[in-house]
Structure 1
Amino acid sequence: MGYATLDDLKERLDWTLDGDEERIALSALEDASDLAAHYGRDWPSDAAPRTVRTLVLRACKRYMSNPEGYVQSRAGDESLGWSDAAGENAGTVFFTGEEIKLLATLAGRATGLYSAGVTAWRSVRRPVTAGLVPVENAGKPFPLFADEWGPG
């Protein structure tokens, strides 16, 4: 089960892969596809949203372009640097936080705060007479609540 092919990845890279790089790229595609199924859902390969394919290829290109996860390099004395920003993902195939959120959204598992109205079994809603504010020189009281049923 892979959401992208080696040929798809080759089209996005700026160089021609040698034999070892092709082997590494195939493993990266497999890892990225597994992560996409984990963070999203296990879509059938032929029915996955196109965005899943794009995200898998983006993660693989990021890895293939910088497999060690360097964020700093200097040629003079040959110093290299890593960042803690990538954390344990430095030098591996990974999705960014925004990519993980997008995969969850594509899978229908978006996070957030939701509210749901709750009523008792066989209850009947009745209009609330409280919640109306008297208005001087006007015949009709002003509603304090959003609707006649109460706050909400």
Structure 2
Amino acid sequence: MTNIFLPVAEKSDLAAIFALEQQVFGHHSYPDFFFRQVFDCWHDGLVLAKDEQANLVGYQLAVRASDPKDYWILSLAVATSYQGRGIGKQLINAGIAKAPAGVERILLTVSPTNPARHMYAAQGFVEIAFEEDYFGPEQARLVMALTLT
């Protein structure tokens, strides 16, 4: 497992977060202005992972849903060169620890072909649904949930 630290996000991190988002998700990434709004609206749900040189190597964004018992991981990205080193697991655990009081379930979606689904399962997430066109035509996603209570 790579040694990382989990700092509080600063406005100066936003460009690096967007660059990582593009690296990992390509044409299906959130736009740059979204992360500025995230910083203002959901700052507590933004967890960063940085290496010993303070380079951003991963991030997770989670927000409370309209049902206050649910907390959604909207995005989790780990730099390609750092994947497989336990950083995703560390981000998930940090995000779970930051879940607001009253949250009973953490949800996420993942492509059925994304190997990260195995990491989520190893962390206790279970598949609860499959949607063929979750993000539009041919954008299938598994919906996974971790029950906290």
TM-score (norm 2): 0.25
Computing the radius of gyration from Cα coordinates, the structure with the larger value is 1
Write 1 or 2 for the structure with the bigger share of strand: 2
- Relative to its length, the structure with more helix (as a share) is 1
